[in-house]
Structure 1
Amino acid sequence: AEGVETTGQLELLRSFGCNQVQGYLISRPLPMEQLLTYLRLEASQADASQSG
């Protein structure tokens, strides 16, 4: 889903089975270097949650 700005919207979408969202609730637009840092952090957190 695109344009998710509130936790209420996120909860509603999750109740519909939507597991991929984007919008200001997740992150404001970022410069490229900050985006890469953000994505690396998200990937490392996903790896950690899957391994333990």
Structure 2
Amino acid sequence: MRRKFQEMLVSIQSRGMAEQGSILDMEFEKWKGDLGQVDDVLVIGVRL
């Protein structure tokens, strides 16, 4: 899971922050599926 997440982050790094957020939301929902969320998730983006 960790490697796939890292690869996904690298693949979207050239996109805008808003688009990255949308992609992260969509990928999280696909990963979670029909299961309820059982823990908190935090991803922080920094623009340099």
TM range (shorter): 0.3 to 0.5
